[in-house]
Structure 1
């Protein structure tokens, strides 16, 4: 039996409710959007007690089904002021699935800082958090393990979230206990901080009940086989990881370089910020490039980066971090980037928003491009912030306004991801139109060459990517398995049916994805957003980006066919 739990933080009470199999099937990002819209969260200040914070998983969480344990975190974003779903991997979603908890909702504000603890038998405790406050995530994680044992999964708030910094995400434990898998974007950590929740700790039961165990076990085996037979999964994600996208975008001309001034950092033979250079170097040092962030994942696209002496620096180093905290700031040394990434994980912050923000200081002339010492000092200052550090913690849009910088790469106040929208156009359309803010995960088509395509074809490519991304997010599936899942809709649907005892048809996939998009767009409309909020910053339309020399060609008025589809039934 699946259940949900609503936690009244002010009164320290827990309310349990049974959740039907059909509702469980529509989990993750769908569940967060539906609950936020039904609760009229668009009416509340994002940092007010009335704004809920929702954690939701998909129907295959906890079963061992590969890459099916992502946790969606939903709220009204204090960064964008619209709806936000940020999701992360790790063990937290697996534990929720094992506990048969489809979602949990934090409501109100605790009178004092707490650690929420849910035992394997369903008891809920509001433990004092004083000994954890002000600590970085790595030290705080060790104290959680010391207090509660190693058989736990957690969602943890870093120091930046404690004081309401909008860079703050929520860190989930990985399979080795690191607090390194972040639901990072949109300031979701600031909302958790406003509720005075330092951590959520789950005791992992160790077994899970499903409707048809033999069919589920066969589905797990079959899915693993399909992933191992897929060239993109095994030759790209498993072999190199997401950092391989840096090599591709550098060659493609879509890599953000020095605040999106260029699309290529260096010729391929001299490029040191991608997987072709980093992966063999790291392996030679004793690092790891087939690391699973969540239990049972066979994609294993994560990595463990080590230094010259073979000592661990960070896990993982991902493409978006390379693009925004690295090349966008002019960094060309992967070891320096790894150390900054470690700091960001300890602070519990979004490396995309952080990198876009740091680049504005260089844009303003307050530091040279690629000044590692400057960047490190700015991040160190976020632990015990003065007024200037608190400004950095408020994100790219607000920092740009304070500095008086004209070239600020944001949409809906959120930093643009590591795909230049002048070159990677279908992803650029997604980042424009999504209710989530400038977020590539809402529908990415990073390898699509679009200049020979018609406008309608590019819009369709973006729309299909958005529907598939939303369906994956609602089912708790990592999109890096999308080359299999997006083509195996009938198989995925039957796997869900085996787990839940439902009778869903293959149409479920598309209907679920489209329903997510419409719920989110409805929320933003009620929050006061208009199509004008979808426009790219002016410099993308005015400045050709080398080496391709493209300017942006899509404006909100060009997106009318997508608006019509997104408004259907809303």
Structure 2
């Protein structure tokens, strides 16, 4: 496999062999290791010393199901530490089949000029001027790229938020229908891409240079068994295909952990209006699609397509985290408005979670009223316009809180929490606090354990241990290129056996659960070391004070995990 290196300072491109010692690094582990080796931890995230790294998952470019996610890594302008954000769609599969293991974008153009990086199916690359694409939002950009480069392309791109290098800027990825509606959303990596002078990265589909598989026959057999385990799992085989991630609205409200009105309440009256069940019913009536396939090689079909009252496309996919951030946190109970906000974030190139929470913090400060959908739309539109309020919203909740002198800002390392309040779900709070990524819902989400009663809010037992045990596993999943839902079957006997057989066949050596934990742990250790060297301390691994001081209705829970317990998660 090869590494493609682009120096934006000189507009030069070179291809080099990937180091042999990185042969078993993939995805998040690969981006972390390259950043450790090549990026000064104290550098300016938007300066020439930072690098934007695309890392192929270990399974990328193979026929393995649900393995088309791509890891994007850099020093984050939002958190000030290391960041890996991954996206679904088509780009991971397309790049994985070009023979490239890594794409490293370094330096910075002197003139402020923007470029399009084009990679063909053989892994060869060119830089084209993006002058004709300047300032475009992502949907118009995608249409014009398709006209210019053809329809058989996979795309990563930025919108106006990335052009302005705002800290909540996302990198948008094309789905199987060529829409820029998948995202490497968290951590402001769209701002890093903008700082490198890149408007878009396009990859020609149809390559046949995927990673070498040591035992192809064994790989195919174990893959068949794993696919059956994915489809037999109650979440990936039943829940997700039926209602998508929005299926979580009901159970999280039922346990009082749905942060609402800027996390002042743990449930919102009328949540049924924004539930997965309601969403699916409306989609069917309007000719939408509640079982859409958004990503290459997906067998789960958790994506969806939302149409307006006239049957016209609005957005894809309407996810649980977005419904929460744009709905529960803002008090908006209209799925049409939430869908419009989701589309705007994709089109402008914004993390829906950080942006929704930024809007909620502004509403909480009295700038606008909770529940005012048009005000929320206006605030998000203002990001593209570059107005004062737009820049604040696009910079994130912490900036909004500081501007309005509102101390109730639910962030860790400036990144917003996710759709699970840490007071009724303390293990999720441990994850928010201690993950090197900042508050993150994919780093170790224990929502299932709370909804099923395995973990109990009113018991002091198990919360820290649950997060500590899950974080290496989820870091490993991010190393493979699999989606989180495709990995659920790992927890079943049949799925676990089939998956580890697949990894053994891929690598040509025995690979088991202990190897999974070792790989995930090494990734986390590398990330934590980077953050320490960047100047982040244990004081940054803390939740905002109000979580431990303000009881959350209706459970009246508080976050009672001590600082010492948080420090024990990654104690050296």
In structure 2, the residue corresponding to 1:201 is in which secondary structure?
A: strand
Structure 1 counterpart of 2:466, from 461, 468, 471? 461
CA contact (8 A) 1:424 1:448 kept: no
Q: Secondary structure at the match of 2:261?
A: coil
Within 5 Å, give how 1:262-411 maps onto structure 2. 262-266=265-269, 271-411=272-412
The equivalent residue for 1:258 is 261
**Conserved 8 A contact 1:535-1:555:** no
Within 2, Cα distance between the matches of 1:453 and 1:396? 30
Instruction: Measure the CA separation in 2 of the matches of 1:482 and 1:251.
Output: 26
Return 187-196 or 528-537, whichever deviates more. 528-537
Contact 1:424 1:447 in 2 (8 A): no
Q: Structure 1 residues 486 and 50, CA, compared in 2 at 3 Å: closer, same or farther?
A: farther
SS at match of 1:135: coil
SS of 1:140 mapped into structure 2: helix
Q: Counterpart of 2:489? A: 484
Structure 2 residues without counterparts, runs of 5 or longer: none
Mark the CA change 1:559 to 1:382 in structure 2 (over 3 Å): closer, same or farther: closer
Paired residue for 2:515?
A: 508
Query: How do 1:165-180 and structure 2 match up within 5 A?
Result: 165-180=166-181
Paired residue for 2:527? 520
1:219 to 215, 218, 222: 222
Counterpart CA distance in 2 for 1:203 and 1:418 is 36
Partners of 2:151 and 2:524 in 1: CA distance: 38
SS in 2 for 1:243: helix
How large is the Cα RMSD of the aligned pairs?
A: 1.7
- Report the equivalent of 2:548: 541
- In 2, distance between residues paired with 1:452 and 1:304? 36
Displacement of 1:149: 0.5
Shift in Å at residue 451 of structure 1? 3.5
Q: Is the 8 A contact 1:408 1:537 kept in 2?
A: yes
CA contact (8 A) 2:380 2:393 kept: no
* Distance change >3 Å, CA 382–CA 78, structure 1 → 2: same
Task: After superposition, give the CA deviation of every residue in 1:267-325 in whole Å (9 maximum; x if it has no partner).
Answer: 6xx62111021112212222112222221211111111112222211100001101111
Partner residue in 2 for 1:440: 441
Q: Which residue matches 1:191?
A: 192
Note the residue ranges of structure 1 that are not aligned, 5 or more in a row: none
Aligned to 2:238: 235
The 2-side partners of 1:293 and 1:494 are apart by 27
Q: Is the 8 A contact 1:285 1:310 kept in 2?
A: yes
- Per mean C-alpha deviation after superposition, the further-off stretch among 201-210 and 511-520 is 201-210
Checking the alignment, whether the CA contact within 8 Å between 2:433 and 2:566 is kept in structure 1 is no
C-alpha distance in 2 between matches for 1:393 and 1:296: 33
Structure 1 window deviating more from structure 2 (550-559 vs 128-137): it is 550-559
**1:368-401 superposed Cα distances (whole Å, 9 cap, x missing partner):** 1110111111111222212332122111112211
> Aligned with 2:516: secondary structure?
helix
For the 8 Å contact 2:99–2:122, the answer to whether it is kept is: no
1:5 lines up with 2:12 in the alignment: no
Q: When the two structures are superposed, what TM-score results if normalisation uses the length of structure 1?
A: 0.95
Any conservation in 1 of the 2:135–2:160 contact (CA below 8 Å)?
yes
The worse-fitting range, judged by mean Cα deviation, of 315-324 and 382-391 is 382-391
* 1:495 counterpart SS class: helix
Change (3 A) 1:418 1:201: same
Q: CA deviation at 1:105?
A: 0.7
Aligned residue number for residue 204 of structure 1: 205
| Partner residue in 2 for 1:120 | 121
The secondary structure found in structure 1 opposite 2:188 is: helix
Residues 272 and 199 from structure 1, CA distance in 2 versus in 1: closer, same or farther, beyond 3 angstroms? same
The equivalent residue for 1:418 is: 419
Asked whether 1:248 is paired with 2:255, we answer no
Structure 2: distance between partners of 1:547 and 1:557: 28
Distance 1:257 1:452, change over 3 A: closer
Of 363-372 and 452-461, more deviation after overlay is shown by: 452-461
Q: Contact conserved, 1:250 with 1:266, CA < 8 A, in 2?
A: no
Sort the Cα spacing of 1:490 and 1:3 in 2 relative to 1 into closer, same or farther, 3 A: farther
Q: Give distance in 1, aligned partners of 2:475 and 2:524.
A: 7
| Cα distance between partner residues in 1 of 2:389 and 2:358 | 13
Residue 517 of structure 1, CA deviation: 1.0
Residues of 2 paired with 1:271 and 1:277: CA distance? 7
Residues 196 and 40 (structure 1 numbering): CA distance in 2 closer, same or farther, change over 3 Å?
closer
1:93, distance to aligned residue in structure 2 (A): 0.4
Q: Output the CA distance in 2 between the equivalents of 1:292 and 1:215.
A: 27
Q: CA deviation at 1:103?
A: 1.3
Residue matched to 1:71:
70
Larger CA deviation: 142-151 vs 229-238: 229-238
Q: Hey, what's the Cα distance between the residues in 2 that align with 1:207 and 1:214?
A: 18
Q: CA deviation at 1:524?
A: 0.9
Contact kept in structure 2, 1:426 and 1:448, CA below 8 Å? no
CA distance 1:303–1:551, shift in 2 (3 Å): same
**Which residue is equivalent to 1:99?**
98
Instruction: Decide whether the 8 Å contact of 1:33 with 1:519 is kept in 2.
Output: yes
Q: Does structure 1 retain, via aligned residues, the 8 Å contact 2:425–2:457? A: no
**Distance of aligned partners of 1:370 and 1:453 in 2 relative to their CA distance in 1, 3 Å threshold:** closer
